[in-house]
Structure 1
Amino acid sequence: MLCRLEAEQPSAAAQRDRMEGVEVVVWQTMLYAFSLFVSLYVLLASRLTGAGSCRYGYGFLLGGAFFFWGLGGLLSPDSPSSRMIVPFLSNGLAYAFALLALRRYPLLPSSYFDRWKSACDVGLLILLHFAFGDDVLPRLFLAVSGIAVLVFARRKHGLREYSLLSLAGTILFWLILAQGPWLPGPLLFFLGAASLVAVCAGLGKQSAQPGQECGCDVSRHTHEQILVYSHYQGLVFFYSAIAVFGVLVYPPDAIRNWGLGLYTVLLTFRWLILQHEKRGVLEQSFQFTRNLERHFETNLAQIRKKNEDLSRVLKLKQSYEELLMKSNEHTMQPISYENLHQKIEQIVDVWYMTMIGMRFLRVSLQSERGEIYYQTERGSQPERYKEGYVLVRLIVDKERDTPLSPRYVAVEALTDESTEEVRSFYQLLAIYVSRLIMRCLQEQQSLGLRLMEQEMELASRIQFSLIPKNRLVLPDVQAKAVYIPAAYIGGDYVDYFSINERYTCFLIADISGHGIPASLLTTGIRNSFRAVVQMCTSPDEMLVRLNHLLYEDLSETRSYITMLIAVFDHQEMVLRISRAGHPAPFYLSGTKQIHLTCARGMGLGLSLAAEYPLDEWKVEEDFTLLLYTDGLINLGRGRQIPDSEKWLKLLGRVIKADQAREKDRIALLEREIWKKTRQQQQNDDISVLILDVKAPGKGERGGIEDVSV
């Protein structure tokens, strides 16, 4: 009885083995749970790094692999509520996701172009899992694939901690699981957990770094494909070694034999397709090399042609510089119509002897109808429109067409080559010849301008001689003329003189127009005025007589004259004024500054029956009277509205300042007028007659003196 009871009780060794088995299961369960936790973190991290990027696909697949592996471990056959098919499928999905994650690793961009390799590798991995029913060989398969990715990434990019840490953790995780049956439970947990932590740390560092390009440059694609094919050839060897290892370690059975057969067929198919594509890539590489050689030869031929063109251009440049120097020597010499043809002959000789490949050269001066005024040629005359024939025609003057100033300069030439650069040389020759002709014309025009300027200066001196330069100084009145023509000569006229001891006459006139026609009429006005003054002393009668004398001449020239005549009566101290269309004078005194109100008649030369009212003013105070032409009030403006108010205020301030200082009013006003005219643009002749009148009992002056500013 005692013996039977001892037999029924388990031995101590069996109990210890059972306790160790339970302990291993506990540690494995903890690792499965930790794997599920890590998978959730990795999936969340892959979502936060950006959907659609390469790093997102790698993290998502890696998180899915950890999730399905942990789920399959928790649903293992040791659990009473599980079924055999559930952990098998879960582990298969975990292995498939892990392998796809390795193929989507960011530092392996070339694998994205060959997805059929990843599909074949997933098929091989599932066949291993199906054939052997054990997880050791699939895990070795994953570890070898990860090591291959690590080697390729190191060869292509070099070791970088932030980019390789997650890959190293993944490889270590599957290697540890492959050694799981032979490792103690605690060691398996801690090593597996450490590798998972490394994966999380590597993914965290990757998310903080700049993104990696998913694709590769087209120029480097062929080279990378050759590296990838060499890489996959090594993988085929390792995949074969894993199958051989499984055959040697595990006993054969029907399922394993079928699985190994399919594995061998798929691996052989993969190797054959790989060899075929490798040959295609090598042929593509050779074709690319041949294209590069042809491209290099084409570029070399283009460079050689460019060098030849450059050499030709350098020769043309040397000829161009020599032609410029020699042509400039001739063109800088004095030129006239007497030696024009001689200068053209000299320049043609220079061009014919200097130009490279020149066989014929002709230069001709032609009319608009093609008539040749002059021509010179060198060499034998060629056939027209022969190869190398060049014809250039340049317009000299669109207005003139005479032998001295032709319409065209024509250059005909026959050279060894007729390029656009060579054609520009003959255009330059035509320009040189046309410049000689234009210089002759300019010399002739300059001579005519010099003669005209001399005549204008003479006319200006004559006209200035008609204007009184000295100041008129009488006991009761002083007068001074200011004359500023807009050009050499003008159409204004100023005059004053004493008729006798009782009367002094003042005149200011503005002839319509400018320049020579207006200046010619000033002489007629002076002579007519001096003649009329001898017959009458009333300003209105003087204007009537002057209108009759000048009407015929003014009508023929379609001109008219505005005029103002003032006569001062020293005996009665009366100022009498009549005006023919002329502006009203400025009246400036210590009490008022106004436009002197006086009647206005029609301009001389507009009507033969014109009448001119007479106005009289008794001298009761000292005052200054300014008679002026409209050039003064239009100074510096293009508008036609007179600006006389500004002048009136300006000159009024000068008079008030003179009263405080008791200075010469005429000199002050003259200086102010000259100052303003120099500061602004003058568009018309300016004439001003300044009369300074003294009230009775204050005048003690007499005679004429020269007081100029």
Structure 2
Amino acid sequence: MILEAFLYGLEMLVGIWIMTRIYGRYSVRRWYHVSFLQGIGLLTWGLGNLLAQSSVAWVQKICMPACFFTYTFFLLSLHALQHATLAYESWKTVWDSVTLIVTFTAIVVVHELAYTSSGHLPVMMHILGGVFLLIPAITTFAQKGQASGQAMKERKQHRTLILATSVFIVYTMIIPFVPSVARIAAGVISIAFLILAHYRAPGISRARMEQPEYRYLFQKLNFVKRDAFMVQVLLILSGALLLGVPAIPEDGQFGLWVAILFGSIRVYLTIRDHQLLVNQTLMSATRLEHQLIEQLALTQQSNQQLTQVLGLKQNYEHLLVASNQQRLKKVTYETMQQVIEELVETWYSKLDNLVYLRLSLESSDRRVYFQAERGKRREWAGIHQFQEQIVVHETLDSGLTPRFVTLEAFVKEDDCLKKELEQSFFQLLLVNVRDLALRCRHQHQELELRFMESEMELAKRIQSMLVPKEQLTLKSLRARSVYAPFTYVGGDYIDYIRVDERYTCFIVADVSGHGLPASLLAAGIRTAVRAVLQKSISPDEVLERLNQLLFEDLSKTRTYITMLVCMYDAQEHALLLSRAGHPQPLYLTATQRTVLPLAGGIGLGLSPDSTYKLEKVPLKEAGLLLMYTDGLVESGRKELYRCLHTWQHDLTQILDRYGKEKEATMDHVETYIWEKTREGQQTDDMSVLIIQFQSAGEQLFADADVS
């Protein structure tokens, strides 16, 4: 008794565990899920059998409704599994459930009327209940079908669960006929099998697998056929029991008659549904046959089109080969027309239906620069005309680089597919000719670019020759230049000229703009300066005469020149300076480290009557003078920007550090300028004239002339 009570309690716990498996997994029709239904069935089975252990008669009678629920819920769970693979008819679920309930009710009523002293379940309920459940279990387990992947995995889960359910059903059937120990062992085995099946099948769904209609109907037809056969087996078994076993109690006989009645009706309805399903299957097969016929027609049409495509394939390959051969050739303006003639001849000979082909290079006003023509124009029925045009260049329009390439062709009409392919061939011809024209232009541009680069290199070398590279060394002064153009050539002019034994002229100028135009003007300044110095040595007069000499040319080109002229007087050991809109020079000595506050004047070429002020700077102590263009202080990225005061500070530190090394001071200054120029991002021409001088009466440099 204790072990049986423990088994029934275990069944109730397992039922609760199985029910909780679906919570959180499904939100729609959770009550019709196989786990939920079998969980309730186990719960009611364990509860009913626990009540049957009671010694109170009315408590024992309660186990009968519990038994009803157990068999009903397990029957519904098997129908739920059938719904998972096929759209199982709902009326069968309702009918089978009603049949089970009515049969059990009839057995119980007759049992109670005939056997008032016993409250236990009638033996026939175990037998009929098991048979009622085994019929749909066997039918569902025998279901076959083609599936793969996830569908195959779900089908295996279904079969495992059906097998476990069948084991439990057999266990309920043998309860009246085996001893207590055997019942307990069979119960433990069946419960363990159910736990394992539900644990391995957590994801069983009720959505049927997607498959073609005809395959689904065929599977359903086989299922309905097996279902009808199994119900007929049930009827035969019921009739055999009635006729072959006369010792069956009255409650069992009455229950069997009820089962036979409902089963007969069920067989009739199933056969009717089977016939309807056969008609649906035949209609589906007819539709499938029509689809196959249509598919065959489409396949034949596709084969015909493919044959045509294959016929054009060879021509297309020849055309591609011809195009690639032309691409490999070196094409120039002199040979381009000949190459176009060859391409037109190739296309005309390879396209069978082509009767006329004309390709022309045209201007924007439809003027023909060149054309290649093959065949004769024929305008009659059965001839289709192609006209295509492609743009070569959006802005240029000449015989060398036309605006358009135009194609006109007459082709014998054929099917639409072949017509579209031939049109693509013509478009390919247009693209090839356009590429030829563009290749010629690009090659011409490359030649021009290489010529221009060589010219610029020559201009760079010439300008570099005009910039003084040798250091100027006098008795108490020496000078050196630093020059870095922004492009190949620059618009800065830097020079020092020995006028006579007493005077030496230093000039730094900056022409507005960059590149070759500015460099040409800078070269002109050199000649003009030397001409002016023949008559004037005062810096202010030099600027005035240069302005008068260059004003007309500068005004025509809308440019101007900033300039700083410095004349060194060796006799007085002083500097005479005058500037025309140019940056003020840096003056660095032991006691003065400043920007010389020279009066400014407007740049050359801005006014024909400009005048400039002359200022004198005696060289009383040794130091440096830096004359520069604005590219020095404007070079560098924003974070490395060097303003004039920053340069003044850094150069002062160099002078303090290396001032005693008089011979090496200029070298350190020049090195520093180059380092800072390379660090930054140059945005303008940069020129610096470094003048190192000694104090009056001090002679540390040997006498020398300009090389």
**TM, length-normalised to structure 1:** 0.80
Partner of 1:349: 345
Partner of 2:409: 413
CA distance in 2, matches of 1:444, 1:531: 43
Q: How does 1:63-82 map to 2 (within 5 A)?
A: 63-64=43-44, 67=47, 79=57
Deviation of the 1:512 alpha carbon: 1.8
User: Does 2:362 align with 1:373?
Assistant: no
Q: In 2 relative to 1, CA 267–469 (structure 1 residues): closer, same or farther, beyond 3 Å?
A: closer
Partner of 2:127: 140
Aligned amino acid, residue 682 of structure 2: Q
CA distance in 2, matches of 1:44, 1:453: 91
Deviation of the 1:129 alpha carbon: 5.7
Q: In 2 relative to 1, CA 214–492 (structure 1 residues): closer, same or farther, beyond 3 Å?
A: closer
**Does the 8 Å contact 1:410/1:430 carry over to 2?**
yes
CA distance in 1, matches of 2:291, 2:511: 85
CA deviations 1:108-135 (Å, max 9, x no partner) are 5469823433444445443476279353
Instruction: Pick from 197, 201, 210 the counterpart of residue 210 of structure 1.
Output: 201
Q: In 2 relative to 1, CA 133–35 (structure 1 residues): closer, same or farther, beyond 3 Å?
A: farther
Partner of 1:49: 21
% same residue: 32
Deviation of the 1:410 alpha carbon: 0.8
Partner of 2:688: 688
**Does the 8 Å contact 1:226/1:278 carry over to 2?**
no
User: Does 2:571 align with 1:561?
Assistant: no
CA distance in 2, matches of 1:158, 1:453: 80
CA distance in 2, matches of 1:378, 1:654: 82
**Does the 8 Å contact 1:390/1:418 carry over to 2?**
no
Q: Helix, strand or coil: the match of 2:631?
A: helix
CA distance in 2, matches of 1:258, 1:531: 144
User: Does 2:388 align with 1:392?
Assistant: yes
Aligned amino acid, residue 116 of structure 1: W
CA distance in 2, matches of 1:293, 1:636: 82
Q: What root-mean-square deviation, in Å, do the aligned CA atoms of Structure 1 and Structure 2 show?
A: 4.2
Partner of 2:538: 538
CA distance in 2, matches of 1:544, 1:328: 67
Compare 543-552 and 689-698 and name the one that shifted more.
543-552
Aligned amino acid, residue 351 of structure 1: W
Structure 2 gaps, min length 5 = 24-29, 112-121, 144-154
Partner of 2:237: 241
CA distance in 2, matches of 1:637, 1:314: 63
Q: How does 1:504-583 map to 2 (within 5 A)?
A: 504-583=504-583
**Does the 8 Å contact 1:104/1:111 carry over to 2?**
no
Q: In 2 relative to 1, CA 703–155 (structure 1 residues): closer, same or farther, beyond 3 Å?
A: same
CA distance in 2, matches of 1:460, 1:498: 25
**Does the 8 Å contact 1:564/1:582 carry over to 2?**
yes
Deviation of the 1:665 alpha carbon: 3.8
CA distance in 2, matches of 1:174, 1:443: 98
Q: How does 1:189-268 map to 2 (within 5 A)?
A: 189-211=180-202, 212-219=204-211, 222=217, 223-224=219-220, 226-246=222-242, 249=245, 264-268=260-264
Deviation of the 1:477 alpha carbon: 1.5
Aligned amino acid, residue 133 of structure 1: V
Q: In 2 relative to 1, CA 396–217 (structure 1 residues): closer, same or farther, beyond 3 Å?
A: closer
Aligned amino acid, residue 44 of structure 1: I
CA distance in 2, matches of 1:121, 1:458: 107
Instruction: Pick from 38, 41, 50 the counterpart of residue 61 of structure 1.
Output: 41
Aligned amino acid, residue 210 of structure 1: A
CA distance in 2, matches of 1:385, 1:475: 102
Instruction: Pick from 355, 362, 366 the counterpart of residue 359 of structure 1.
Output: 355
Q: In 2 relative to 1, CA 108–195 (structure 1 residues): closer, same or farther, beyond 3 Å?
A: farther
**Does the 8 Å contact 1:560/1:604 carry over to 2?**
yes
Q: In 2 relative to 1, CA 228–393 (structure 1 residues): closer, same or farther, beyond 3 Å?
A: same
**Does the 8 Å contact 2:357/2:375 carry over to 1?**
yes
**Does the 8 Å contact 1:367/1:406 carry over to 2?**
yes
Partner of 2:147: none
CA distance in 1, matches of 2:91, 2:179: 35
Q: In 2 relative to 1, CA 308–693 (structure 1 residues): closer, same or farther, beyond 3 Å?
A: farther
Partner of 2:487: 487
Partner of 1:116: 91
CA deviations 1:240-259 (Å, max 9, x no partner) are 43245235655999999998
Q: In 2 relative to 1, CA 575–191 (structure 1 residues): closer, same or farther, beyond 3 Å?
A: same
Aligned amino acid, residue 685 of structure 1: D
**Does the 8 Å contact 2:139/2:226 carry over to 1?**
no
Q: In 2 relative to 1, CA 642–318 (structure 1 residues): closer, same or farther, beyond 3 Å?
A: farther
Q: Helix, strand or coil: the match of 1:268?
A: helix
Partner of 1:91: 64
Aligned amino acid, residue 91 of structure 1: M
Structure with greater Cα Rg: 1
Partner of 1:704: 705
Compare 467-476 and 570-579 and name the one that shifted more.
467-476
Q: In 2 relative to 1, CA 239–140 (structure 1 residues): closer, same or farther, beyond 3 Å?
A: farther
Deviation of the 1:206 alpha carbon: 3.8
Deviation of the 1:573 alpha carbon: 1.4
Aligned amino acid, residue 39 of structure 2: G
CA distance in 2, matches of 1:315, 1:501: 95
Aligned amino acid, residue 568 of structure 1: Y
Deviation of the 1:54 alpha carbon: 1.4
Deviation of the 1:485 alpha carbon: 2.8
CA distance in 1, matches of 2:650, 2:380: 79
Q: In 2 relative to 1, CA 463–286 (structure 1 residues): closer, same or farther, beyond 3 Å?
A: same
Aligned length in residues: 663
Partner of 1:17: none
CA deviations 1:212-245 (Å, max 9, x no partner) are 3345425375415523531442332333432452
**Does the 8 Å contact 1:480/1:689 carry over to 2?**
yes
**Does the 8 Å contact 1:586/1:625 carry over to 2?**
yes
CA deviations 1:92-120 (Å, max 9, x no partner) are 67346414413423755469823433444
Instruction: Pick from 274, 283, 295 the counterpart of residue 270 of structure 2.
Output: 274
Q: Helix, strand or coil: the match of 1:369?
A: coil
CA distance in 2, matches of 1:355, 1:668: 78
Q: Helix, strand or coil: the match of 1:496?
A: strand
Q: In 2 relative to 1, CA 237–446 (structure 1 residues): closer, same or farther, beyond 3 Å?
A: closer
CA distance in 2, matches of 1:691, 1:252: 137
Q: Helix, strand or coil: the match of 1:104?
A: helix
Compare 346-355 and 287-296 and name the one that shifted more.
287-296
Deviation of the 1:617 alpha carbon: 2.2
CA distance in 1, matches of 2:607, 2:356: 74
CA distance in 1, matches of 2:372, 2:259: 98
Q: In 2 relative to 1, CA 365–249 (structure 1 residues): closer, same or farther, beyond 3 Å?
A: same
Deviation of the 1:350 alpha carbon: 1.6
Deviation of the 1:286 alpha carbon: 4.2
Deviation of the 1:580 alpha carbon: 1.3
CA distance in 2, matches of 1:310, 1:374: 38
Q: Helix, strand or coil: the match of 2:578?
A: strand
Partner of 2:26: none
Partner of 2:626: 626
Structure 1 gaps, min length 5 = 1-26, 180-186
Compare 472-481 and 484-493 and name the one that shifted more.
484-493
Deviation of the 1:344 alpha carbon: 1.5
**Does the 8 Å contact 1:226/1:281 carry over to 2?**
no
CA distance in 1, matches of 2:461, 2:364: 45
Deviation of the 1:275 alpha carbon: 0.8
**Does the 8 Å contact 1:550/1:605 carry over to 2?**
yes
CA distance in 2, matches of 1:356, 1:215: 59
